[in-house]
Amino acid sequence: MTFINYASREINCKIVYYGPGLCGKTTNIQWIYEQANPEKKGKLVSLATETDRTLFFDFLPLDMGTVKGFKVRFHLYTVPGQVFYDASRKLILRGCDGIIFVADSQRARMEANIESIANLATNLKENGFDIRSIPYVLQLNKRDMPSAAPVAEMERLLRFRGEPMIEAVASQGTGVIETLKAAARQILMELQRA
């Protein structure tokens, strides 16, 4: 749910990175944080365990500049990927404007990817959203892994609505900004239609 403030001429959008455990959601957001202009970024908040697994969420506010005289601000969130944190995942989807699904390209993780998309669909539905219509981007992460499945195979298994599909190596920053941009485009275009 976008928050448009006419008084401060600001528009805030919430983008959630979703995906199975260890697929690289936090890595995406960390890379954006490290690369962003210091004036544009806020503090990166990570609620993680001692072993750096996301416990509740990571949060990064980003000032993107202005569109039509309105300051555009993205709030990036990641969910905890581990299966047993489902209650937390559901909470984070509350009021989101768009989803970036980070898929792990390693063959051994394909089932986890599929399960995670099914879990996303259920959790979106419980928050009143439809996975078929909400702004949505599919990122194929870890393309540099030797055990990465071919793109065509991943597309067949994971792409279900002609959504933008972007190949990435988040640890090196490849495809990270393109993914965010694809999501931003859909969200802002959605506002146009509203």
Partner 1 sequence: MAKLDLVMFEEEYKLLQEIIGRLQKDASAKVVFLVDKNGQQIAAAGDVKSIDATSLASLTAGNVAATDGLAKLIGEKEFSLLFHEGEKDNLHISIVGKRGILVVIFDQNSSLALVRLRVKKASKELQEIFDQVEQRAQKESDTGNRFESPFSEITDEDIDRLFGD
Contacting positions for partner 1 (CB under 8 A): 1-8, 11-12, 14, 42-43, 45, 47, 56-57, 59, 61, 64-65, 67-70, 72, 75, 77, 87-88, 90-92, 94-96, 127-130, 177, 181, 184-185, 188-192, 194
Tell me whether residue 75 or residue 142 sits nearer to partner 1 (CB atom).
75
Start-to-end C-alpha separation, the chain: 12
DSSP 150: P
Structural contact between residues 139 and 166, judged by C-beta atoms closer than 8 angstroms: yes
Q: In whole angstroms, what is the distance from residue 92 CA to residue 94 CA?
A: 5
Structural contact between residues 54 and 46, judged by C-beta atoms closer than 8 angstroms: yes
User: From the CB of residue 56, how many other CB atoms can be counted at a distance below 10 Å?
Assistant: 19
Tell me whether residue 70 or residue 151 sits nearer to partner 1 (CB atom).
70
Closest separation in Å from C-beta 20 to partner 1: 21
Q: In whole angstroms, what is the distance from residue 157 CA to residue 117 CA?
A: 11
Q: 100: which strand partners?
A: 17, 137
Q: In whole angstroms, what is the distance from residue 189 CA to residue 194 CA?
A: 9
Closest separation in Å from C-beta 35 to partner 1: 11
Q: In whole angstroms, what is the distance from residue 8 CA to residue 73 CA?
A: 12
Closest separation in Å from C-beta 146 to partner 1: 32
